[in-house]
Structure 1
Amino acid sequence: MRINILQHTPNEGPGAIRAWAKEHGHELYIYHPYQFDGVLPSADTTDFLVILGGPMSPNDDLFWIKQERQLIKELLAKHVPIFGACFGAQQIAKTLGSQITKAPAKEVGWAPVYLKSTVISGLPKRLTALHWHEERFEIPKEAVHLFESALVKEQGFLVGDNVLGLQFHFEPEADDVREIALNDRTYPNEGNALKQSTLDILQAEVPAENKAILFKLLDFITQ
């Protein structure tokens, strides 16, 4: 399987998705449209699309952000698996007609998310995830609401059996958390409802179950 990954900032890479791909014998192709003039894969070369987070908004008037949504639209029509994290989930939701707005609270740091649906079996009712956002998506009309948090209800959705969007992050491993937090170190200090500093975030251990849960989710949408 060819996994095309859209990365939107240097410090938010595929993390544990790379390990999942290696375990299954898949190949990763990573694109950086924010830097390289909007270079994107074609729908015909995409067996699985991963859309990562970033500091931009789907509402920004940038040509490559709109081109990403066109790619998502083509892949939705072809029933190709898609996974979006944070900005990536917002891009999927906007493609499906949902609004992207400011969240009721800025969430930056480690906080619980709660399971809203048992459509994917074997998921715990409560998980601790990394949050790094201040916008939210509406749950698409055709989607199942999967996760919520105490501050922002719209934390995850599933469309059909092959499209998953998560507002939070399960993909970062310890090295990835350090890369995110060290390079975006001022972001947690500005109106953060979780009241966590960069140091707090760095000192917390990545829950061991997050990688296993991510693998289960990716297995589900690519089965």
Structure 2
Amino acid sequence: MRINVLQHTPNEGPGMIQDWSQKNGHEMYIYHPYQFGYLPTAEETDMLVILGGPMSPNDDLPWIEQERELIQTLMDQEKPIFGVCYGAQQIVKTLGYDVTKAPAKEVGFAPVYRRDVKFLNIPEELNVLHWHEEMFEIPAQAQLLFSSDKLENQGFIMNHRIVGLQFHLEPKADNVREMVVNDFPYIKNSVLNQTSEEILQTRISDDNKQTLYKLLDFITI
């Protein structure tokens, strides 16, 4: 399977998604549309991963609209799509729903809670990395997957083929270090009130990896 990844900033790469891809013998191609302007075609995409970034789906940039055209085509073809943070917001915008400012900016580690989707056999609570200040509506076609203490809509699952997460399950410890040392000014004014050092010292649970793998397995079966 060819997995095409849309990466939107140098310091937010695929992390453990790449590990899952390699474990399953898939081929991964990483695109940087914010820098080079190129996107894969639907024909050469078996699965699409849309990563986070500092931009908003509401920004008026040609490549952002082109991403949504690709997402819509892949939805029509019922191909698996996994969206993280901005990537999940792009899926929601493609479906015609709103992305708006969240009640509070969340940056740092905090729990999310699994909602009614029990068939996935994932933990009821996970301590995950948040790095956002916008939020998405849950599409009518989708099920609410996760919520946090500060934000109800933290994740959704749709049609056995699409998962969108507002938070980050994919980073390994080195990835978190990369995010913090390059984007530390963004931590200021977060409702989670964590310092760079506190974020760096937080251990990433193996539950995050196992949950990520189960979600990726689910949409690619």
TM-score range, shorter chain: over 0.9
C-alpha offsets along residues 148-183 of structure 1, whole Å, 9 cap, x if unaligned? 001011100011101000000000001100011110
Task: Measure, in 2, the Cα distance between the counterparts of 1:7 and 1:16.
Answer: 14
Q: What's 1:2 paired with? A: 2
Runs of 4+ that moved beyond 2 A: 118-121
Q: TM-score, normalised by structure 1?
A: 0.98
Answer yes or no: is 1:56 the counterpart of 2:47: no
Q: What's 1:213 paired with? A: 211
Q: Give the aligned residue type for 1:162.
A: R
CA contact (8 A) 1:186 1:198 kept: no
Task: Measure, in 2, the Cα distance between the counterparts of 1:119 and 1:160.
Answer: 15
Q: What's 2:139 paired with? A: 140
CA contact (8 A) 2:117 2:143 kept: no
Q: What's 1:222 paired with? A: 220
Identity of aligned residues (%): 59
Displacement, 1:124?
0.9
Q: What's 2:84 paired with? A: 85
Q: What's 2:110 paired with? A: 111
| RMSD between aligned residues | 0.7
Q: What's 1:124 paired with? A: 123
Q: Secondary structure at the match of 2:102?
A: strand
CA contact (8 A) 1:33 1:39 kept: yes
Q: What's 2:32 paired with? A: 32
Answer yes or no: is 1:195 the counterpart of 2:198: no
Task: Measure, in 1, the Cα distance between the counterparts of 2:186 and 2:77.
Answer: 38
Displacement, 1:120?
3.7
5+ residue gaps in structure 1? none
CA contact (8 A) 2:81 2:162 kept: yes
Displacement, 1:121?
2.3
CA contact (8 A) 2:123 2:207 kept: no
Task: Measure, in 1, the Cα distance between the counterparts of 2:116 and 2:92.
Answer: 18
C-alpha offsets along residues 97-125 of structure 1, whole Å, 9 cap, x if unaligned? 11000001100000000011225421111
Displacement, 1:52?
0.1
Displacement, 1:207?
1.2
Q: What's 1:13 paired with? A: 13
Task: Measure, in 2, the Cα distance between the counterparts of 1:75 and 1:119.
Answer: 26
Q: Secondary structure at the match of 2:110?
A: strand
Q: TM-score, normalised by structure 2?
A: 0.99
CA contact (8 A) 1:115 1:124 kept: yes
Q: Which has the higher mean CA deviation after the structures are superposed, 127-136 or 111-120?
A: 111-120
- List aligned pairs for 1:62-101, cutoff 5 A: 62-101=61-100
Q: Which has the higher mean CA deviation after the structures are superposed, 201-210 or 113-122?
A: 113-122
Q: Secondary structure at the match of 1:101?
A: strand
Q: Secondary structure at the match of 1:123?
A: coil
Task: Measure, in 2, the Cα distance between the counterparts of 1:83 and 1:12.
Answer: 15
